[in-house]
C-alpha cells in the first residue's frame, strides 16, 4: 500500500474511521479550518515560519539518544529514545500547539481554547498564547488538576484561565466535552486547539501533520547511525499524537514493526483501564468514529490510568484504521508496570520520563527480551516526568 | 404508521398562531415519573413533544439538560427504556420526536432503533451530532421506517448549505436560534429573523425555532415569523424541581395566539 493511501484521509475518513459527528453550528468552522490548513500547508511562507519556531522556540530537532544502561538491563537489545522530553515545555505537545497557533493567527481568531489531561497540552497552549499574544482558556478535570497541580500553576503563570470541569469522571474526556461546548458557543471568535489526533476531521489529519516531524527527524537520525532502520518503533497512545507523530515516517518501512502502548490501568480485566483499542469497540466520541470504551447503550465509560495523559476513553481514528489493517500492533501496560519503568529509566539513564512514555518504556523491555542482543528498538520519549513526581512514590 | 393528524408536517404548521413543542428527558428524574410528566405535557396544548434519550457526553446541550440526562442515566435509563417512555406518551395522541446523539443509536443498531421507534408510535428523530454529510445510512433506515428525519440549521450555516439541509429534512426544519448549546436565555439573538427568512426560501416544511426559548416575550417575537417554538431547558428545569412543566406551557401558549 502506498503512503498516500495510508495517510491521506478520504472524505475525512481513514478507512471507516473519522468523520465529523458534531452539531451543525460547528460545520462551517470545520470547513474553514480544513481549507485554511491545506492552504497553509502548501504555503512556503507558513512552512518557513513554522520551521523557524521549531528551531528557536521548541528546540528542534530533538536528539535521539542511546539508552545503553537500560539496553543492558533489558538483555542487550539496542534501545534508542527520541527525546521529545527536551522540547520546550517538556513534551511533544508544543509541536502541535505552535502550528495551530500560527493557523489561528492566519484565521484572525484571537481567542484560543484547549482541553488538557496531564496538563502538558494545556501548558503548551498557554505557552503559545503568551508567545503570540492570544487569549487562552484551558478546560481541565478536577481530578487532573489535583494530580497534575504543577502544570495548573504553570498555565496560570503563563496567563491562561484554567476552568475546572466537575462533570462525569472529572478527567480528560469531560474537559474535551466542555471545550467542544465552549467552541459551539464562541465559534465565530475562537479557535479550538485540540491536543491530540482526535476530534472531527480535519483535526486528526492536521495534528498528525504537525506531529510527524518527530518521526521524520527520528528516521533520518536513526539511519545516520549505521544506515539501518530499527526493528521496532514503540510509542504510548492516549489520543495518539506522539505515536502517529513517530509512526508516520515508518509506515512504508514494512520491516519496521510499529507498537502502540495503551494504558491498562489496574488491568484490562478489572475494567479500570483506558485501553480503547485493546478493550473497546467502534463508536462515536468527540466528533469522530473510532474505538471507544462504552457500554452496550453507547454511553461512554469512566476510565482509569495513573497517567492523566492516557486516561481517555477514545483514540484517534487513524489508529483505529492502522489497528484494523494490522499495520500497527496495540498492547496495554498497567499502572504498576509503568511506575517500575519510570523508576528504572530515571535511575539507569538519568532521564525522568513522564508516566505516559513510561508505558512505552516498559513495553520496550518486553520486546527487547523477545528480540535478544542485536535487536533494535526506537522509543518515543514523549515527555519528561517532573509533573508526575507526586503520582510516583519515592521508593 | 403515524396518523395523518399526528404527522409533524401537519401538527407543527402555524395557523395564524405559533405552535409550541415541549422537550423532556426520558427517565428524568426516573422512568415512571417521566412517563407521568410526558402524559401531562401531551394534554397541555402542545403541538408535539420532543423526548430526549440521555447520553453521557451531550455536545449540544447546556447544563440543565446535561444534568437531567446524567440523572436519568444514574437511575437506569437506557435506549430501550426511552423507547418505552416514548410509546407510553405517544399513546396519548401527541406527536413524539426523539432527540438523541448518534452513538446510542449506532450501538443499539440503527435499523433496530428505526423499527422500534416506529413501533412505539414515534413520528420523527433528531440527532444533533449527525450533520447531513454523515446522515447516511442511518437517515435512510429511519425514512424506511416512515420516520421523519429532522435536520438543524444554525446561525453559522451558509445559504447554500441551508438549501441542502432543507432537502434532507422531512417533518419540519429545526432552526437553531443561538450560536451555542441548549439552555434558557433571557434574550434571543438579533439576526434570527434573517435566518428564518433564508430557510423559508428553501422549503415548504414547517420551521421550528429552538435553543434558548423560555419566555412569553420570546413567543411574541417568534409568532408570525415561523411555525413553531421548541421549549427545552425551561421545562426540564421545572421537572427537575418536581413540577411537570404544564403551567409554564399554558402560560407560554397565551403568547402564541
Ligand atoms: C508526555 C505525554 N505523552 C503522551 C501523552 C498522550 O497523548 P498522545 O497520545 O496524543 O501523544 C501526553 C498527554 O498529555 C503527554 O503529556
Listing DSSP states for B118-137 in one string gives HHTT--EEE-TT--GGG-TT
C-alpha cell at A121: 497540552
* Of A88, A196, A197, A363, best ligand 1 pocket probe by most atoms within 8 Å of the beta carbon: A196
Shortest-distance atom of ligand 1 to CA A310 = 6
A47-59 average pLDDT score: 98
Cβ-based burial of B129 (10 A; exposed 0-12, middle 13-18, buried ≥19):
buried
Residues in CB range of A38: below 8 A, 6 or more apart: none
Cβ-defined contact of A24 to B133 (cutoff 8 Å): no
Could you tell me the distance, in angstroms and rounded to a whole number, from the CA of residue A242 to the centre of ligand 1? Answer: 7
What is the band of A4 on the pLDDT scale with cuts at 50, 70, 90? very low
Shortest-distance atom of ligand 1 to CA A243 = 11
Q: Going by CA atoms, what residue is nearest to atom 14 of ligand 1? A: A309
* Of A319, A352, A354, A358, best ligand 1 pocket probe by most atoms within 8 Å of the beta carbon: A354
C-alpha cell at A328: 500497527
Query: In the predicted model, is pLDDT for residue A395 greater than 80?
Result: no
Which secondary-structure segment (H or E) carries A184?
A: helix A172-186
Percent of chain A whose pLDDT exceeds 70: 98
Backbone angles phi, psi at A122, to 5 degrees: -60, -45
Could you tell me the distance, in angstroms and rounded to a whole number, from the CA of residue A211 to the centre of ligand 1? Answer: 12
**pLDDT tens-place string over residues A324-343:** 999 999 999 999 999 999 99
Tell me what pLDDT residue A174 has.
94
Tell me what pLDDT residue A3 has.
47
Tell me what pLDDT residue B185 has.
87
Cβ-defined contact of A25 to B176 (cutoff 8 Å): yes
Of A206, A100, A24, A354, the residue nearest B131 (C-alpha): A24
CB A170 within 8 A of CB A178: no
Tell whether the torsion through CA atoms of B215, B218, B224 and B229 is positive or negative. negative
- Say yes or no: CB of residue A209 within 6 Å of ligand 1: no
Tell me what pLDDT residue A167 has.
87
Listing DSSP states for A12-71 in one string gives TEETTEE---S-HHHHHHHHHHHHHHHHHHT-HHHHHHHHHHIIIII-PSPPEEE-HHHH
How far apart CA A272 and CA A265 sit, in angstroms, is: 6
Chain B CB contacts of A299 under 8 Å are 55-56, 73, 104
- Say yes or no: CB of residue A354 within 6 Å of ligand 1: yes
How far apart CA A149 and CA A307 sit, in angstroms, is: 13
**pLDDT tens-place string over residues A84-135:** 999 999 999 999 999 999 999 999 999 999 999 999 999 999 999 999 999 9
CB A384 within 8 A of CB A90: yes
A177-190 average pLDDT score: 94
Query: In the predicted model, is pLDDT for residue A169 greater than 90?
Result: no
Averaged pLDDT score across all residues of chain A: 96
Q: Give helix then strand counts, H and E, for chain B.
A: 12, 9
* Binned average pLDDT, 10 residues per bin, chain B of 257 residues: 81 96 98 98 98 96 95 98 98 97 98 98 98 96 97 96 97 95 88 94 97 94 96 97 97 96
* Rounded alpha-carbon distances, angstroms, from residue B102 to A287, B96, B127, B182, B253: 10, 18, 6, 17, 32
Q: Is the ipTM, as predicted for this complex, more than 0.95?
A: yes
Least reliable range by pLDDT among A252-256, A367-371, B182-186, B250-254: B182-186
Of A211, A207, A238, the residue nearest A314 (C-alpha): A238
CB B129 within 8 A of CB B59: yes
C-alpha cell at B92: 396519548
B68 and chain A: CB distance < 8 Å anywhere? Answer: no
- Say yes or no: CB of residue A307 within 6 Å of ligand 1: no
C-alpha cell at A189: 471568535
Query: In the predicted model, is pLDDT for residue A7 greater than 90?
Result: no
Could you tell me the distance, in angstroms and rounded to a whole number, from the CA of residue A373 to the centre of ligand 1? Answer: 30
B106 and chain A: CB distance < 8 Å anywhere? Answer: yes
Secondary structure letter of residue B188 according to DSSP: P
Tell me what pLDDT residue B191 has.
85
Tell me what pLDDT residue A11 has.
83
Is B190 catalytic? The answer is: no
Alpha-carbon gap: B64 to the closest alpha carbon of chain A (Å): 12
Q: Going by CA atoms, what residue is nearest to atom 13 of ligand 1? A: A309
Tell me what pLDDT residue A6 has.
62
What is the band of A10 on the pLDDT scale with cuts at 50, 70, 90? confident
Chain B CB contacts of A285 under 8 Å are 57, 103
**pLDDT tens-place string over residues B158-183:** 999 999 999 999 999 999 999 999 99
Mutate to test the interface with A, among B103, B138, B159, B165 (most CBs of A within 10 A): B103
Shortest-distance atom of ligand 1 to CA A245 = 11
Amino acid at each position: 500500500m502506498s503512503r498516500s493511501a495510508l495517510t491521506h484521509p478520504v472524505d475525512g475518513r481513514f478507512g471507516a474511521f473519522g468523520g465529523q459527528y458534531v452539531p451543525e453550528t460547528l460545520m462551517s468552522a470545520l470547513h474553514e479550518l480544513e481549507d485554511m490548513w491545506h492552504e497553509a500547508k502548501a504555503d512556503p511562507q507558513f512552512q518557513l515560519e513554522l520551521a523557524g519556531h521549531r528551531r528557536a522556540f521548541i528546540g528542534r530537532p530533538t536528539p535521539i539518544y542511546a539508552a545503553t544502561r537500560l539496553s543492558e538491563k533489558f538483555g542487550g537489545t539496542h534501545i534508542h529514545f527520541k527525546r521529545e522530553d527536551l522540547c520546550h515545555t517538556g513534551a511533544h505537545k508544543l509541536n502541535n500547539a505552535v502550528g495551530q497557533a500560527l493557523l489561528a493567527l492566519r484565521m484572525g481568531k484571537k481567542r484560543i481554547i484547549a482541553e488538557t489531561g496531564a496538563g502538558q497540552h494545556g501548558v503548551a497552549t498557554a505557552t503559545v498564547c503568551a508567545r503570540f499574544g492570544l487569549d487562552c482558556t484551558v478546560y481541565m478535570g478536577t481530578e487532573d488538576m489535583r494530580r497534575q497541580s504543577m502544570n495548573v500553576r504553570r498555565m496560570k503563570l503563563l496567563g491562561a484561565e484554567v476552568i475546572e470541569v466537575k462533570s462525569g469522571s472529572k478527567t480528560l474526556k469531560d474537559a474535551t466535552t466542555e471545550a467542544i461546548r465552549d467552541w459551539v458557543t464562541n465559534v465565530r471568535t475562537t479557535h479550538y486547539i485540540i491536543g491530540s489526533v482526535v476530534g472531527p476531521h480535519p483535526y486528526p489529519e492536521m495534528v498528525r501533520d504537525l506531529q510527524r516531524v518527530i518521526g521524520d527527524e527520528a528516521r533520518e537520525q536513526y539511519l545516520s547511525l549505521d544506515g539501518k532502520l530499527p526493528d521496532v518503533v514503540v510509542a504510548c497512545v492516549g489520543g495518539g499524537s506522539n505515536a502517529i507523530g513517530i509512526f508516520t515516517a515508518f509506515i512504508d518501512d514494512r520491516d519496521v514493526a510499529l507498537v502502540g502502548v495503551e494504558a491498562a490501568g489496574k488491568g484490562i480485566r478489572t475494567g479500570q483501564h483506558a485501553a480503547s483499542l485493546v478493550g473497546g469497540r467502534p463508536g462515536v466520541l468527540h466528533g469522530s468514529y473510532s474505538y471507544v470504551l462504552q457500554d452496550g447503550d453507547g454511553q461512554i465509560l469512566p476510565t482509569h490510568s495513573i497517567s492523566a495523559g492516557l486516561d481517555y476513553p477514545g483514540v484517534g481514528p487513524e489508529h483505529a484504521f492502522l489497528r484494523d489493517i494490522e499495520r500497527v500492533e496495540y498492547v496495554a501496560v498497567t499502572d504498576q508496570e509503568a511506575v517500575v519503568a519510570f523508576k528504572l529509566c530515571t535511575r539507569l539513564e538519568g532521564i525522568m520520563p513522564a508516566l505516559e512514555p513510561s508505558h512505552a518504556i516498559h513495553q520496550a523491555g518486553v520486546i527487547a527480551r523477545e528480540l535478544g542482543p542485536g535487536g533494535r528498538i526506537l522509543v518515543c520519549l514523549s515527555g519528561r516526568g517532573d509533573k508526575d513526581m507526586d503520582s510516583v512514590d519515592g521508593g | 404508521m403515524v396518523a395523518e393528524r399526528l404527522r409533524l408536517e401537519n401538527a407543527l404548521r402555524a395557523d395564524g398562531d405559533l405552535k409550541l413543542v415541549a422537550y423532556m428527558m426520558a427517565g428524568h428524574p426516573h422512568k415512571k415519573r417521566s412517563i407521568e410528566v410526558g402524559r401531562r405535557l401531551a394534554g397541555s396544548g402542545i403541538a408535539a413533544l420532543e423526548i430526549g434519550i440521555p447520553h453521557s457526553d451531550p455536545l449540544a446541550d447546556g447544563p440543565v439538560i446535561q444534568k437531567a440526562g446524567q440523572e436519568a442515566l444514574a437511575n437506569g435509563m437506557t435506549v430501550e427504556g426511552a423507547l418505552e417512555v416514548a410509546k407510553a406518551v405517544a399513546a396519548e395522541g401527541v406527536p413524539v420526536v426523539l432527540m438523541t446523539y448518534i452513538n446510542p443509536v449506532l450501538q443499539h443498531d440503527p435499523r433496530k432503533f428505526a423499527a422500534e421507534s416506529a413501533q412505539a408510535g414515534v413520528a420523527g428523530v433528531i440527532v444533533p451530532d449527525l450533520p447531513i454529510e454523515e446522515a447516511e445510512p442511518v437517515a435512510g433506515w429511519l425514512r424506511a421506517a416512515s420516520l421523519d428525519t429532522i435536520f438543524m440549521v444554525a446561525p453559522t450555516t451558509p445559504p447554500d448549505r441551508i438549501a441542502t439541509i432543507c432537502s434532507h429534512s422531512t417533518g419540519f426544519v429545526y432552526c437553531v436560534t443561538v450560536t451555542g448549546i441548549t439552555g434558557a436565555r433571557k434574550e434571543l439573538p438579533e439576526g434570527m429573523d434573517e435566518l428564518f427568512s433564508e430557510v423559508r426560501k428553501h422549503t415548504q416544511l414547517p420551521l421550528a425555532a429552538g435553543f434558548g426559548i423560555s419566555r412569553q416575550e420570546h413567543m411574541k417575537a417568534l409568532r408570525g415569523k415561523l411555525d413553531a417554538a421548541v421549549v427545552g431547558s425551561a421545562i426540564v428545569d421545572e421537572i427537575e424541581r418536581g413540577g411537570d412543566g404544564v403551567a409554564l406551557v399554558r402560560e407560554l401558549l397565551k403568547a402564541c395566539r
